[in-house]
Chains A and B, each alone.
Chain A
Amino acid sequence: MSNELFQEMAQSIIDGDSDVSAELAQQAVAQGIDPLEAISQGFVVGVNHVGEAFAKGDAFLPELVMAGEAMKAAVAVLEPELARRGTERTMLGKVILCTVEGDIHEIGKTLVGTMLSSAGFKVFDLGVDVPVMKVVEKAREVNADIVAMSALLTTTMVHQKDVIEALEDIGIRSKVKVMVGGAPVTKEWVKQIGADGYSEDAIGAIKVAKQLLGQ
């Protein structure tokens, strides 16, 4: 019985159907199925399938993004049940995500957020044009493991450096890993500002984030 449901769960992710994925999650709760199993044997199977298809060139960004949205919808239904049972999904880490101050480009950042949360990170997406201190304060407030920043303009990418310096100033630089991204960001820039990592694209961000946390 469960197997069929798990297959449907995976399919709802592949189809990118948030309504169906949420409904199936609800069904799992109603049937008393372990939410962690629903996630790992049902929904995540779908996420992995879409990720692999994307890497092969058989699936594209719209499918990826919608799969991420469907995943979020399912997890939103399952989280209260997880809390009720006292179990928590193994969270890979807490990520503060933003587009830097003065910059309103958000497509890449949002994709990274979707990818990271699908992969099991807890993502705090602060949005765009986020002041340096807001990023730093949030990182401190939630005990973030990673600060991930996006910038599309050479005129705004300098704020990625500002955030790193502010993390140092308040004494938490050693506690977080910093990853940066965006079109003008290069390996040289990462070295120059003392960031810990960067990804060329949203898919690669998952691997980089995991590596930074030693996983």
Chain B
Amino acid sequence: MLIPKLQLLDNDLVKQIISEAIAILESPGIRIHNQEALELLAGANCRVDFNAQVAHIPETVIRQALETAPREFTLFDLNGNPAVHYYGDKIHFDPGSGGLTIIDSQTERPRLPKTADYIKFTKLVETLPQIDAQSTSFVCSDVVPEIGDLYRLYLALNYMNKPIITGAFRKDTWWTMKEMLSIVAGGDEAFANKPTAIFDVCPSPPLLWSDFTCQNLIDCAHYLIPAQLISMPLAGATAPVTLAAAVIQHAAESLSGVVISQLAKAGAPIVWGGSPAIFDMREGSTPMGAVETWMISCAYVQIGKALGLPTHAYMGMSDAKIIDTQCGLESMGSNLVAALSGANIISGCGMMDLESCLSYEKLVIDAEMIGMVKRFVKGIVVRDDPIALDLMQKSGHKGDFLTLAHTRKWFKEEQYLPSEVIDRASFDGWVARGEKTTFQRARDRVEKLLPTYKPNILTDEQRKELREVTTQIAKKFGMEDLPVLPQGE
């Protein structure tokens, strides 16, 4: 059976990309503003200039790191069931993260999100079967900025069942986040055995590891907490403008991340991920809806697979400011390309406006797209043998297929059954249902889904501990009390 797949690079180009990326790590090398990483590299026979904070990594060190990096691993849900299998061409989806605003369901315009929004968004993700994992979707505006990263995780852990893609903004907050995960898992070792979270770590283009993010990468490795490399070359601005060159820069940055991770701890789970884009030459922005952005991502995913690593991509987003045609066309094109690329996890659903804004309604609409693309990559499956011959002999001259047991047996497997967000009624039917737009249907669906949310298994004791840990660090940054969580939850 043929599983549909999309590859943009032929074998020779894959080889050349990897070869040039390796050469770049030797010359000019990679800038690293983190002392521990520089020392790790120096200790592994890399030529390190501690003054200029540049490391030159030879091919042998890179190849060694690629040997020890795991080819697969799994994220588990809070009940201990496998949920995201980072392996081969298996695809999963989670929402975009790091957003600053949320689309207000009434005004259809962005506003600053608060704790209540975050909880609502987390619950909504739980109710959507197409979405495989949570993310720390957006920063809450009702807490001090210094705890912006960990507060999201605190809220998410209270409400999520699915595993989570997260990330820290600082060195110190990473430790609080690790402590939270440990509280929920029942210890560091328990977490490492069945991880429920993965940390995004982002090098800065071009060719730079900033101090805190590099430290996050090292700390994750030490505790066998999965880390996801998010290299983000902007082709034409912080990377060369040619797509192939941008893919090479991505590979160089990502290879250096694999090396740092494996030197910190051989065997630490690490993902070849990213969020590259082209640089829009009119607006000076970084469009995630541009087809070239998708091409760079699809290509780097192919490189990651060629290196035997689990992969990730930031796709499924739109640059639109409202949920309109542009929003739909960009998200769908991106989701389909991403699914066909076989990236193990695709971050981005629910996200729009140049990766800055989230939306409940877009999340629900994107879930439909995800359902469709997941169906697409399942391919055309042979269900029976013969496939059609005996059916046609029985019913071929009658046309009564709707009445057959065969139809009843297979229709749910053969067809992705969309929710009412996707309108396929007759014109009169659409009118009778209120002539609703996609946005309106999505908004209705949000309201229908939320009451179906099922709480997770966290004990009162665990919730208390989480709150204590978060409150303590909030106090350290001048916030005396955390927002109160809704009662009875």
Contacts and interface: CB of A to CB of B under 8 A. Distances in A.
Interface of A: 57, 60-62, 104, 107-108, 111, 154-155, 158, 183-184, 201-202
Interface in B336-375: 354, 356
B284 A57 contact: no
Closest 8 CB pairs of A and B: A60-B281, A61-B281, A155-B145, A107-B237, A154-B100, A60-B282, A61-B284, A155-B169
Most A CB contacts (10 A, CB to CB) among B148, B283, B284, B356 go to B284
Contact of B238 (A107, A155, A183): A107
A108 B139 contact: no
Nearest to A60: B281
B204 interface: yes
B79 interface: no
Contacts of A57: 282
A184 B284 contact: no
Contacts of A62: 236, 281
Contacts, number: 35
B210 interface: yes
Contacts of B139: 154
B282 A61 contact: yes
23 contacts: A60-B281, A60-B282, A61-B279, A61-B281, A61-B282, A62-B281, A104-B204, A104-B208, A107-B234, A107-B284, A108-B284, A111-B284, A154-B139, A154-B145, A154-B148, A155-B148, A155-B169, A183-B354, A184-B100, A184-B356, A201-B283, A201-B284, A202-B284
Interface string B134-164: 0000010000011010000000000000000
B30 to A, nearest CB: 15
A183 B238 CA distance: 17
Nearest to B210: A104
A209 B282 CA distance: 21
B interface: dominant SS: loop
Contacts of B282: 57, 60-61
A183 B356 contact: yes
Contacts of A202: 284
Nearest to B100: A154
Nearest to B212: A102
B54 to A, nearest CB: 16
B145 to A, nearest CB: 5
A175 B238 CA distance: 36
Given A104-B210, A154-B148, A201-B283, 10 more contacts: A61-B279, A61-B282, A61-B284, A107-B237, A107-B284, A111-B284, A155-B145, A184-B356, A201-B284, A202-B284
Interface in B274-296: 279, 281-284
B357 to A, nearest CB: 11
A104 B322 CA distance: 29
Interface in B217-231: none
Contacts of A183: 354, 356
Contacts of B281: 60-62
Nearest to A129: B210
Contacts of A61: 279, 281-282, 284
Contact of B145 (A107, A108, A158): A158
A206 B356 CA distance: 26
Nearest to B234: A107
A57 B282 CA distance: 7
Most A CB contacts (10 A, CB to CB) among B139, B145, B236 go to B145
A155 B147 CA distance: 10
A107 B280 CA distance: 12
Nearest to A57: B282
A110 to B, nearest CB: 10
A64 to B, nearest CB: 9
B157 to A, nearest CB: 22
A104 B145 CA distance: 18
A182 to B, nearest CB: 12
A108 B319 CA distance: 19
Most A CB contacts (10 A, CB to CB) among B100, B169, B208, B281 go to B281
Contacts of B210: 104
A62 B208 CA distance: 23
A202 B354 CA distance: 18
A153 to B, nearest CB: 8
A16 to B, nearest CB: 14
B74 to A, nearest CB: 32
Contacts of A107: 234, 237-238, 279, 284
A60 B283 CA distance: 9
Most A CB contacts (10 A, CB to CB) among B210, B237, B279, B354 go to B237
A152 to B, nearest CB: 11
Contacts of A104: 204, 208, 210
A12 B100 CA distance: 43
Contacts of B146: 155
B207 to A, nearest CB: 13
A183 B100 CA distance: 11
A57 B281 CA distance: 10
Contacts of A111: 284
A108 B238 CA distance: 12
A202 B283 CA distance: 10
Nearest to B356: A183
A178 B322 CA distance: 32
Contacts of B283: 201
A98 B148 CA distance: 25
A183 B204 CA distance: 17
B6 to A, nearest CB: 29
B217 to A, nearest CB: 17
A57 B283 CA distance: 10
Contacts of A158: 145
Nearest to B281: A60
A123 B91 CA distance: 50
A102 to B, nearest CB: 10
Contacts of B236: 62
B292 to A, nearest CB: 15
Contacts of A60: 281-282
A62 B145 CA distance: 35
A209 B457 CA distance: 57
A4 B471 CA distance: 72
Nearest to B237: A107
